A and B are shown apart, each in its own frame.
Chain A
Amino acid sequence: MNSAMPFEWILAIRFMRQARMQTLLIMAGVALGVSVIVFISALISGLQSNLFRRTLDFQAQIIILPPKEVSRPLHQAGGGVMLATLVQPRAQRLQSVDQWQTVLAQVAKMDGVSVVAPVVSGAGFIVRGEANKAVGLTGIEPETYLQLIALNSKIIAGTANITGTDILVGMDLAKDLGVWTGDKLNLQTASGGTATLSIRGIFDFGNSGLNSRSVYIALRTAQSLLDLSGGVTSVEANLDAPFTAETVAQTIQAQTGLKVDSWIATNAQFFSALEAQSMSNTVIRFFVGLTAALGIASVLVVSVVQKSKAIGILRATGTSRQQILRLFLLQGALTGLMGSLLGALVGWLFLNAWRNIAVNADGTPIFVIDFDPMLFVYAAVGATLVGILAALFPALQAARLDPAVAIRG
């Protein structure tokens, strides 16, 4: 007997060792459940963070826009009768966010906002020799915007740090026009603005649409090209917790009266897919946990019956009800803990095998598996708690056992 070990631990371990087959079988059951949870969780969170990254790499989490201009029907003075019977929605012209500096400062001060950037976006043409291409141009302040969008990591040549007469173009556009960093391009807009810009960097978003139709220029250049001097078309922000975007967006909308979009609202479909995945993961966890709990409980119920004479003798020789209760709770906890450690190991091996088996032709994994070592800790703690809960009923049964009856058995 180990002197460091309390009475209940010694008993619990001896009881579990004695009923070796029962103990091994139920631990294997728990281990299997935990390995399924570890594997599925890693797979789904990998899938999600992958999708998540792909979405948020190109998009700010919160976009503050000027309110849409609406057509105002004419009313007769004093009456309520509408004179125009057909009301067409107004064509939306490019307009600035009213008082954007104040809005920017206000949003920057909000809790949970990590970065705010002003953006000017509009349409333009790239002209070089005979060729011209329609592009969406985005005017940015690199010092803030580069924190908002992972543009830096997409740069394949040059740098994203643009000033006055610089431009960033996509890889496909550069190829189409036969240009590279250092070359000059002419950019024109419908409002008559024109500027000659030199290519500072080339980016690759991994999407040919984006690569051939978007360009980035400095904020002030965009303002003058789009005839928006001093104005911005949107204020964009990122949050510390991306999933709170919708609430934060609604708060800003209420405070400013501007139109505020969150990435959650603009990607509703993507979100419902994420939620469905998370929910299915939760359902799987719940049922696996329940199955493990029922397994542990049933083994312990049988064990209480098998050990009833021993319990009677222990009670007769001075073991208290509380000690008996703890003895069985401990067996549940130990089964859960050991099973989960074993299961985490199996799950991890399985994940590694999966990483090597499920690969694309070029050797890159089909699924990126996001493996958080804390998952082991959660699994161990969770399974231990499940074990204790599962043991509660059998343990109470054991503690309530009438020793006189148990011994007579």
Chain B
Amino acid sequence: MADFNAITLQLKGIRKAYNIGLPAETEVLHGLDLTIARGEFVALIGPSGSGKSTLLNLIGLLDKPTAGELLITGQPTTQLQDRELTLLRAKAIGFVFQFHNLLPEFTALENVMLPLLAARGRPDEAMRLRAAELIEQVGLTNVGKHMSNDLSGGQQQRVAIARALVMQPALVLADEPTGNLDTKAADNVFDLLRRVNEASDTSFLIVTHDPRLAQRCDRIIELVDGRIDSDKANRVSRP
């Protein structure tokens, strides 16, 4: 298991503005404070344009805040260079996107291996075994050798989840992971996320439009106009 603090993610006064210094300067996030503990399963909701995607990019270290500090497993990140950010991102954060999650040039299994490959440079047997284990965990053993384009949307999202977990990250960020799926497939993918969360210390932050799915998370944060409008614990009835 990855070595991280009890606090997975901490935001202190995070601001994000675009077009700085231009007449069109706009601040999208207005000083957010937020803490996510180890193993939490959090939904991030809010209307379009509320800054959800921007926030997710900042937390995912794909973008830098204009002001404030962002700590991943206790480590401050705003002063890090691109190289260090890439390393930290690879080690601590897993991504599941809504569309085009996988590289069509590779099989499902190989897609799961990619983060390990990027980190270590050359493929080896241990990587293959680790990827196969995750493919099994997401229930796709029988299609692991298929090219990722040949899989259904639900299967592709499962592969993406397996890939997000392959580095044993502290935090998985999922941007509308089920937005592209029909209800049944969406349920399956969501169940998988929950199961993985329960079986590990990995925290999840899931952006969703679907209130039904949000209700199945431990905590719901609502973002409105770049501010946290509400942040409340949610009692989930477990089957």
Docked-complex contact B123 and A317, CB < 8 angstroms: no
A320 close to B (CB within 8 Å): yes
Docked-complex contact B115 and A18, CB < 8 angstroms: no
**A: contact size bracket:** 20 to 34
Interface readout for B100-132 with A: 1 if CB under 8 Å, 0 if not? 111111100010011101110111110000000
A407 close to B (CB within 8 Å): yes
Docked-complex contact A3 and B123, CB < 8 angstroms: yes
Interface readout for A304-330 with B: 1 if CB under 8 Å, 0 if not? 000001100111111111010000000
A5 close to B (CB within 8 Å): yes
CA distance A314 to B53 in the complex (A): 18
Q: Which residues of B contact A157 (CB under 8 A)?
A: none
CA distance A409 to B97 in the complex (A): 12
A70 close to B (CB within 8 Å): no
CA distance A4 to B163 in the complex (A): 22
Indicate which residue in A7, A18, A318 contacts B86 across the interface (CB closer than 8 Å): A318
Residues A321 and B97 in contact in the complex (CB < 8 Å), given A17-B105, A316-B60: no
Residue of A nearest to B56 (CB): A404
Docked-complex contact B123 and A1, CB < 8 angstroms: yes
A53 close to B (CB within 8 Å): no
B43 close to A (CB within 8 Å): no
Interface size on B, residues (CB 8 A): 36
CA distance A403 to B62 in the complex (A): 6
A interface: dominant SS: helix
Docked-complex contact A7 and B121, CB < 8 angstroms: yes
CA distance A15 to B103 in the complex (A): 10
Q: Which residues of B contact A128 (CB under 8 A)?
A: none
Q: Which residues of A contact B63 (CB under 8 A)?
A: 402, 404
B57 close to A (CB within 8 Å): yes
Docked-complex contact A6 and B163, CB < 8 angstroms: no
CA distance A277 to B94 in the complex (A): 62
Indicate which residue in B97, B122, B167 contacts A407 across the interface (CB closer than 8 Å): B97
CA distance A15 to B102 in the complex (A): 13
B90 close to A (CB within 8 Å): yes
Q: Select the residue from A11, A17, A313 with max chain B CB neighbours within 10 A.
A: A313
B107: min CB distance to chain A, Å:
9
Docked-complex contact B119 and A318, CB < 8 angstroms: yes
B227 close to A (CB within 8 Å): no
Docked-complex contact B83 and A3, CB < 8 angstroms: no
Give A130-184 interface residues, CB cut-off 8 Å to B: none
B54: min CB distance to chain A, Å:
8
Residues A3 and B122 in contact in the complex (CB < 8 Å), given A316-B89, A318-B167, A404-B62: yes
Indicate which residue in B100, B101, B118 contacts A319 across the interface (CB closer than 8 Å): B118
Chain B residues near A (Cβ < 8 Å): 53, 57, 60, 62-63, 82-83, 86-87, 89-91, 94-95, 97, 100-106, 110, 113-115, 117-119, 121-125, 163, 167
Chain A residues near B (Cβ < 8 Å): 1-7, 10-11, 14-15, 17-18, 309-310, 313-321, 323, 402-404, 407-409
Q: List 19 A-B contacts (CB under 8 A).
A: A3-B124, A7-B122, A7-B123, A17-B105, A313-B101, A314-B118, A315-B62, A316-B62, A316-B89, A316-B95, A317-B95, A318-B86, A318-B90, A319-B118, A320-B82, A404-B57, A404-B60, A407-B97, A407-B100
